[in-house]
Structure 1
Amino acid sequence: MTDFGVTPAGFVVKPVDVLLSESFDRARAVFTDVDLTSTSALRKILETTAAEDGELWKRLEDLYYANFMSTAVGAALDQLGEDVGLPRAASPSTGTVRITVTDPVAGQQYVLPAGTIVVTGDPVRAYGTTAPVTLDSSTRFADVAVMAFAPGPAGDVDAGVIAGIDPAYHAEFLADTGAAFTVTNRAATSGGSGTESDASYRGRLLGLARNLWTADAVAQAALGVSGVLDVVLSDPLGGVDVSQSYFDLFNFDQRAFSSERRAGEPYFFSVVVAHDFVRPWRTIGPVPGIFEQVTAAVDAARPIGIHANVVEADHIEIGVRATVVIESGSDGTALLAAIGRRLTTDIGALRLGGDVLYSQVVRAFVEQPGVLDVQGLHLRRAPAAFGRITFGDVPMQDVIAEAAVGENLTMGPTELATFAAGGDSLDVTVVVR
């Protein structure tokens, strides 16, 4: 007989037909010459109770799988998170603002990069633009999406509350333009009352380190900072990771952690951080920088006497040059936009050290409706920023490098591939056949 309920293979729900068959057997055992035909009143009652019992079995299945992080959903997943001290993260508020340049000089362009900080009045709430904006005397205003730096319902503001560009940001990055800008949100911002999805929350719970004295715990603390995409730790002497096989062999009155060193000298390890460009690396105005936030988070997890050297990862801009053959009647502009969005998503999913595969880029082209062929496809990479402190073998270029047809782009351990659909990153010639 098939086992139902909790089994070695998980929870097995008893089907309604089995429940109904068991009900018939019990009725025959109690009553003699019982009528269980389709028109029988007793059969109708047994069918109704079997359907209700079936729902109870489904509920039992939900309760069983609600006990495990890998299968729990909704409120059950929240309760498991509370047990380990990791609540579900709030969502940032989003909206759209209109940026206008006042008194522009004819023939001059004013570029506001992604991540431009716009703020409300008192109390100050800061938002970052999610795309670059280019203005001039003929295009004096543009609408751009913004996202609150601080998640939560406080970021939901009414229309007209966002008042301008943060003065500290303007003084540091826009003062040389000699122009003034006005900013307003013509509609209310929203989304701050939401929370992260079950899939995202479950991933954080499953990756939760259970020991505060390991490299995994330090990486987890850094990844908990909003805007951090990936983290790599360099700890060659095992100073952070006390799970090393030789950790319990030390004489603690003579040696500290895992490396022979002079008494009183601190131990440093590197934390390479890849972050969302919308968020500033250093604190600007009311927006705390990724560097300061990661440093504070790591300080809470690192062992005493061991200090983190927080370093910004090398964000490598990726470009593509190719010829695309499309069907007659296809909209070439729309196809290029779709290809750009696909590449932004696919390359954006990579992590530190993740190579950009030629086959992955080809798929972004050929899987678009209307594309017949892609020819002469070359991957490009821009040089890493000069002066970064990194470790390991990192391929550095002085000029933009173009790979041969069929060749992947290899990233170093501290490099993160990025792709922006605008500008010259997508150099594609469209041929209609």
Structure 2
Amino acid sequence: MTPEFARRTYQEVVDHMLGTLSAQGILTDTAPGSVTRTLVEATSREFAELYARMNAVYEAGFLETATGSSLDQLVALIGLTRLSGETDIVEMRFERDNRVSARVIIPAGAVVTVERADASRVSYAVLDGDELRAGENTIEVALRALPDPDDPDADLSVNGDDVTLNNATFVAPIAGIASLSLVGPSVRLGTNETDEQLRKRARMAIASAGGGTEKALEQALMEIEGVNGVRLRDAGDPLEGVPLRPGEIEIILDGDPKDMEQVKQAIARAKGPGIIARLASTQNVEIGGTLVIRPASATLSNSQALELVRNCEALITETVDKLDIGDGLQWNRLLAALMSVENLGDILIDQSSFTLISTIDTQTIAPGDVSIRETQRLVPGQETNSLIVTLEDRPTLLIGVQLTADITEPTGPVIDQFTTELRQSLGTYLEAIDTSKPNAVLTLAETVTALAADQTMTVLTDQITLTNFSLTALETGEGSLQNLTSDGTQQLSIPQNAILRLADPIVSFTWEDPA
């Protein structure tokens, strides 16, 4: 804070001195042109200049008020220098790792090596820290060339051939960023870095390197593989959890870091001295249930109805995936987004419900706002707790498969390939069934015959037999479960205008080792 009277204007000094002389009754003739006023005005001019210079010296000691050469000397204390107009700047596009859905911190100073077409390498550093927000897949970031310590006059530019080669790699990978690419050739900054630009860069450097700040802790932890998000609370934070005393903080990690020792070291390095850090992890709350919708038209074909259902479910999943730690679901926003889906007429809230499953309990609620604790994350339900969208007056049958294979359990890639091929083949077969007509049926024998004849099936095809293969059908509206098993004579009656969908997961396995 600026000290009181750190700076007085010329008129303020004159008025103060004349007022003091008059109050003391020593010199009372202060009219313009008098000897007293003339002497006071001459002296006040020098005092005003002194005040101005002292104030400038004071402001030169702070990042927010220092300017010009004073700012240059101040940021030199943390190893920064003002960028000259000759500095090369390049833009790079950072792409998200699809395994990470939360925001990704891109720290200022992160170094990238660019291999040029002539096989030489130059280094660039992120100019200003940024972040890839939840829901964003790419971000374009400016980087500046780092001088070559062995050759200060070296050419550090990147040209069109270098962009075509597009060989850029992180010196230290950033968790959550899968790849990076050059947007275009480098350009010269043109003019020296302004005071405000230099201040911004200095703030980022202090936050990332100084330690003891929320930003420093967050950035240090977000760089660790497996950490998707960070939330902090202290004794003054009203969040639920273990009571904290002054000097204690709770660090809530979202994700599954592979190296907890690395996490502990990052906390010790970034937290302030004398601060006790307690580590906690987030708990997932799965949201599932059934959302009953009414299409805008009663004449939708089966394929159109299925597309409507899938679009609604994809939108709900995308909305939930974008939520951060502690963020609840805002029903009005989700409802507004759903109503923009093509062919959707209405959502029947009185016939719908949400199911919330956590490690503590399970609860069923009517569609509406969903609140969670600050240490929890809302995630789309998996398997039996998935959120299913179904149409009013058009029942939905979820079709699943049980395969009892008389072989030793194969490796993962074989199972993954079989699951993918089966999903494609069985999905095509089900879509061909005309449910608009009454008395439509599904038999195991016909299904097995169709799958065996499909040339796109390449693995485990010898296991698709009436003996090893069975179908399971769950009617979502009624909750009734039907099984079609080995003898092949059973029939599944399909309600008229029903939508046939594949369950997720589509297949469950039982391995019977022939040995």
Using structure 1 for the length normalisation, give the TM-score: 0.40
Kindly name which structure, 1 or 2, has the bigger radius of gyration based on alpha carbons.
2
